[in-house]
Amino acid sequence: MSKVIVITGGSAGIGASAARELSRRGHRLVLAARNAERLKAVAGELQTPVHTVVADVTRRSDVERIRDEALGAFGVVDVWINNAGRGISRPVMELTDADVDEMVTVNVRSVLYGVQAIVPHFQQRGEGHVINVSSFLARVPVAPLRSAYSAMKAAVNSLGANLRLDLAASHPGIHVTTVMPGVVSTDFARNALASTGAVPPPPPGVSPMRPQTPEEVAPHSGLPTRLPDRR
Q: Does residue 136 fall inside a structural domain?
A: yes
For the chain (length 231 residues), average pLDDT per consecutive 10?
96 92 96 97 97 98 98 98 90 94 96 98 98 90 84 96 96 95 55 53 53 56 45 27
Mean of per-residue pLDDT scores for the chain: 85
The phi and psi torsions of 110 (rounded to 5 degrees) equal: -60, -40
Q: Does residue 228 fall inside a structural domain?
A: no
The phi and psi torsions of 5 (rounded to 5 degrees) equal: -125, 125
pTM above 0.95, yes or no: no
Is 113 annotated as catalytic?
Answer: no
Q: Over the stretch 36-58, which tens digit does the pLDDT of each residue have? A: 999 999 999 999 999 999 999 99
Q: Does residue 230 fall inside a structural domain?
A: no
Whole-angstrom CA distances from 116 to 86, 111, 159 are 21, 9, 12
Q: Does residue 149 fall inside a structural domain?
A: yes
Q: Give the three-state DSSP class for 227.
A: coil
- pLDDT of res. 143: 75
- pLDDT of res. 142: 75
The phi and psi torsions of 60 (rounded to 5 degrees) equal: -55, -40
- pLDDT of res. 231: 27
CATH number at residue 152: 3.40.50.720
Domain that holds residue 140: 4-220
- pLDDT of res. 25: 95
Q: Does residue 117 fall inside a structural domain?
A: yes
- pLDDT of res. 230: 35
Q: Does residue 231 fall inside a structural domain?
A: no
The phi and psi torsions of 213 (rounded to 5 degrees) equal: -85, 155
Burial class (CB in 10 A: 0-12, 13-18, 19+), 204: exposed
Q: Of 80, 113, 149, 188, which one is the catalytic site residue?
A: 149
- pLDDT of res. 175: 97
- pLDDT of res. 228: 40
Residues 6+ apart with CB under 8 A from 96: none
Q: Does residue 215 fall inside a structural domain?
A: yes
Q: Does residue 156 fall inside a structural domain?
A: yes
Q: How far apart are CA 28 and CA 47, in angstroms?
A: 9
Domain total for the chain? 1
- Rounded to 5°, the CA angle 20-22-27 comes to 120
Burial class (CB in 10 A: 0-12, 13-18, 19+), 82: buried
